[in-house]
Each structure stands twice: as structure tokens, then as C-alpha cells.
Amino acid sequence: MKTIFKSALLGVAMSLAVGTACAQAYPNKPVKLIVPFAPGGFTDVVARILGQKLSVAMGQQFIVENKAGAGSTIGTDFVAKAAPDGYTLVMISTTHVISPWIYKTMSYDPIKSFAVVSKLVDSPYVLLVNPKVPANNVKELVALAKSAPETIHYASSGNGSSQHLMGGLFVSMTGAPLKHVPYRGSGGAATDLVAGVVETSFAGVPNALSQVPQGRLKAFAVTTAKRIPQLPDVPTMQEAGVPGYEASVWLALLAPAGTPKEIVNKLNSEIAKLMATPDAKKALYDAGVEPTPSTPEAMSDYMVKEMERWGKVVKEIGIKVE
């Protein structure tokens, strides 16, 4: 028995030693940071900020790679099936916990297939409208849409995306018959919105900041309960006449399930440190997001709650993949 006990202790000690050595050596080669959305969108902007900061902090390149499609499930599936060694990560958004309610079948479990590294940021979306639309606020837009059903469209980054759901929630709560137009990424949606191909979109703050000050788009409302400092003159949706409307989008970093805890904790620690620096805070502020790093455990719990919350919203408003 003593021999067995000593062997067991030796095994535990060796595992701890290997894990510690692995974490100390990590990363010793470039890390892929998968963005499951097209370039130029909200998630992509934050990923490139984080990738650059982590590259400097950890001494290896964190290379952003876009794998868009199917409401972010293509790129996310790629990471779910990757080796759990910390060298393939994915930056997810709220869409990650919406997809299971939108798609009939999924090749991975949004919770069990991943090891959570950290929550990253929170941000509202902004209801953006092309200047050619003869409306100057939310109430006028709703009235216009009701007067000419399905002539006003709202663009999103794809079926099942956060943009899709926020638009669907708006339609449900106002009765405005806006017609959904899914794109293969928020970049294409933004381009057509500015060109007037589509009339409206619920877009990330970076898109608003790049178009609204120049007059290329009008900002009617932000989706959160409070106004944001980047657009102080833009009312909240509730202020604009939609009582009870409140929603935001968050981003988080995940690794494949089974990634060593030591590596997860090392990444988590580095992210917390770099997001507290003035330089990172300014870059994220300029991108229209608020840093909200967390422990892996706290974000895991939050994802479960968010999945339940958005599942109820999907059922209530009847959103389905078109």
C-alpha cells in the first residue's frame, strides 16, 4: 500500500511539474487567434487590439485569422476541434450563446467544448440609419416602417448574429415591420448601409464612430440602459421611446476543452494586466468598448446564464435562420 501511495503521489507531483513547465514555456511559437467573423467588424477590431498587446506582453505573435460564416459557428467549430495546447484560441461574442437556439444541429457544445480564458469587453450596439431615410428619430422610423410595411430593411452580419437578434427584438417591441437582410459579416452590412442599399442596421460602436461624425449615417439610439461617452448626444433606446429595450454585446476568449489550466490561467493573468494599462484602455475606448476582464470561472457561469436569457428572447420573438 505504501508503494502504491508513493507512486500516486509521484504521479501527481510529475503532473504538476509538467503543467508548471508547460505554462512557463508557453508560448514558444505563434498563437492563432481565430475570429469567427469577417474582417472589419466589431469582434475583429477588438481581436486585433488584443492580439497586438498579447504579442508584446508574451513575446510571441498572436496572429488574428478570420474564419467567418454560419453565425460564427464555422470558426468556432475549427477551434473546438483544435489541439488543446493553447496555440489556437477563439474570440467569441454574444452570438456564441445565441447560435444553439437558432441552428437545429451544431457540431460542438458552446459550453462543454471549450475552456474559458476570460471575458474581455462589453459594448452597446447603435441603431444606425442612412441619411436618405426620411426619419430623424426612433419614433419617426417606426411610423415610417408601419406606413410602408417591409420597405425598410435592417442589415446584420448574418443569420443568428447579435445584430440579427437585436433587430428582431426591436421589431418585436415596436411592431415596426423591418425586413432582415443577412450579410456575410458586419463589414459588408456597413458598406451597403452607407451606400443606401439597406436603410438601417444595429451595428457596433466602431462602425458608428467611423460614419456618424462625418454625417454618412445617423445614430438614433444605443441599445444599453445608459448613454455612452463616445456618443453622448445619442439617446438610449428607452429614452427614444422603446420602454424596456436593453441589450449589449460582450466578447470573450476561449480555448479548446482540455487546455491545461496553467496555460488558461497564464493567459487570463496577462489579459487582466494589459487591459488595466492606460494604452489598452484608450485603444478599447476608441473602439467603443469597455474592458470587463473576468476569471474563467465567472465567465463560465455568465455564459450559462446568457444562454438561458437569449434562448428565451429567441423563442419570444420567433427568430429562425432564413
CATH of the domain at 275: 3.40.190.150
Does residue 231 fall inside a structural domain? no
Between 74-78, 203-207, 248-252, the lowest mean confidence (pLDDT) is in: 203-207
93 and 107, same domain (yes or no): yes
Does residue 177 fall inside a structural domain? yes
* The predicted structure's pLDDT at residue 16: 47
142 and 176, same domain (yes or no): yes
Decide if pLDDT at 314 tops 60. Answer: yes
Q: Residue 198 is part of a domain; what is its CATH number?
A: 3.40.190.10
Provide the grid cell at 301: 457561469
145 and 89, same domain (yes or no): no
Does residue 135 fall inside a structural domain? yes
Decide if pLDDT at 46 tops 60. Answer: yes
The pLDDT > 90 percentage for the chain reads: 76
Decide if pLDDT at 260 tops 70. Answer: yes
The b-or-e profile of 142-161 (16+ CB within 10 A means b, else e) is bebbeeeeeebbbbbbbbbb
Q: How many CA atoms lie within 13 A of 59 on its CB side?
A: 5
Question: Which tens digit of pLDDT belongs to each residue from 189-216?
Answer: 999 999 999 999 999 898 898 899 999 9
Decide if pLDDT at 45 tops 80. Answer: yes
Which pLDDT band holds residue 15 (cuts at 50, 70, 90)? very low
Decide if pLDDT at 322 tops 70. Answer: no
Decide if pLDDT at 298 tops 70. Answer: yes
Give the integer Cα–Cα distance in Å for 181 and 178.
Answer: 10
* The predicted structure's pLDDT at residue 40: 82
Does residue 65 fall inside a structural domain? yes
Question: Which tens digit of pLDDT belongs to each residue from 210-241?
Answer: 899 999 999 999 999 999 999 999 999 999 99
313 and 167, same domain (yes or no): no
Mean pLDDT value across residues 76-100: 96
Give the integer Cα–Cα distance in Å for 95 and 72.
Answer: 7
* The predicted structure's pLDDT at residue 2: 52
Does residue 19 fall inside a structural domain? no
Residue with cell 468598448: 289
In the chain, the number of structural domains is 2
Final residue in a domain of this structure, among 204, 222, 240: 222
Does residue 202 fall inside a structural domain? yes
132 and 218, same domain (yes or no): yes
Does residue 175 fall inside a structural domain? yes
Which pLDDT band holds residue 17 (cuts at 50, 70, 90)? very low
What sign results for the dihedral spanned by CA atoms 172, 178, 183, 185?
A: negative
Does residue 239 fall inside a structural domain? no
SS (H, E, C) the chain: CHHHHHHHHHHHHHHHHHHHHHHHHCCCCCEEEEECCCCCCHHHHHHHHHHHHHHHHHCCCEEEEECCCHHHHHHHHHHHCCCCCCCEEEEEECHHHHHHHHCCCCCCCCCCCEEEEEEEEEECEEEEECCCCCCCCHHHHHHHHHHCCCCCEEEECCCCCHHHHHHHHHHHHHCCCCEEEECCCHHHHHHHHHHCCCCEEEEEHHHHHHHCCCCCCEEEEECCCCCCCCCCCCCECCCCCCCCCCCCEEEEEEEECCCCHHHHHHHHHHHHHHHCCHHHHHHHHHCCCEECCCCHHHHHHHHHHHHHHHHHHHHHHCCCCC
* The predicted structure's pLDDT at residue 105: 87
Give the integer Cα–Cα distance in Å for 161 and 182.
Answer: 9
147 and 292, same domain (yes or no): no
CB 128 within 8 A of CB 207: yes
Final residue in a domain of this structure, among 222, 238, 264: 222
133 and 209, same domain (yes or no): yes
Amino acid identity for residue 120 in this structure: L
Q: Can you name the residues that pair with 222 across neighbouring β-strands?
A: 126, 236
Residue with cell 441599445: 223
Average confidence score pLDDT of the chain: 91
Domain that holds residue 268: 29-122+249-317
